[in-house]
Amino acid sequence: MRLGGLLAFLMAALGAAAPARPAPQPADQHPAALVGHYDGHQMEMGAELLLRADGRFQYGVAYGALDEEAEGTWLAEGGQVLLTSDKVTPPRFVFLGQKPAPAGVLTLSVEAPRGMSLQYFDAAIRLAKGGDAGRQLTDDGLTVPFAAGDPPVKVQLFLPMFEQKSDVIAIDPAKGYWLSFRFEPNDLGKADFRGEALAIDKGDLLLQRFGRTIRFHRDGDGSGG
């Protein structure tokens, strides 16, 4: 979701009728003083947060090539706002197996959804003598030469922008050094908050995300729909 879509997604909710939901939490868990629309825009980042009076929230961030959104329930506890997402099916890496590769070469191939560049992925490669040979994939995957006396023994794939990683795969040299993976995005781009804590600072809400602090400032009349 780009920034324009992110804004539309959140602002439309301000006037939308709330759908049927389970019984709301007690009113003191989502106090009126916190209900409203929050703007978290900062350099290189667009961010929005909506806390509704019925205990529901909506959130969205556009940060470089990354778009993230979430909706679910919120409550106030211990001087913090806690966000819990609706059910999310997380992305996953599937290891498809090994086969022979040219002598002295480790080859990694990844099946990804159409339009998703393999350059978003990184590989961590552990060598027999303890060294690392990790690097970014290209759109053709990754080919890494290695010395006969220091072959790769473990591989792990990463999608850093979404903080996703595969299991660590132990390489069986008898099967070969061509390893194949498939990336299944599922609900990629939906944040799976589980009691995610936002500190309350002079009316602003502070979220630690992507290695930085997002400061959400309440704007408008504070209406939460």
Q: Domains in the chain, start-ordered, CATH in brackets?
A: 3-16+26-86+188-219 (2.40.128.360), 92-184 (2.60.40)
50-97 pLDDT, tens per residue?
999 999 999 999 988 789 999 999 999 999 999 999 999 999 999 999
- Whether the CA torsion 51, 57, 58, 59 is positive or negative: it is positive
Is the pLDDT reported for residue 6 higher than 70? no
Residue 117: the pLDDT is: 94
What pLDDT score was predicted for residue 30? Answer: 77
Q: Which of 202, 188, 182, 157 is nearest to 89 (CA)?
A: 188
* Model pTM score: 0.71
What is the structure's pLDDT at 26?
Answer: 53
In the chain, count of helices (H) and strands (E)?
A: 1, 17
Query: Is the confidence at residue 141, as pLDDT, over 80?
Result: yes
pLDDT in tens, 9-22: 444 444 444 444 44
**Which residues lie closer than 8 Å to 95 by C-beta, 6 or more apart?**
166, 167, 169, 179, 180, 181
What are 29-39's pLDDT values in tens digits? 779 999 999 99
| pLDDT of res. 7 | 42
> Comparing C-alpha atoms, which of 150, 157, 151 is closest to residue 175?
151
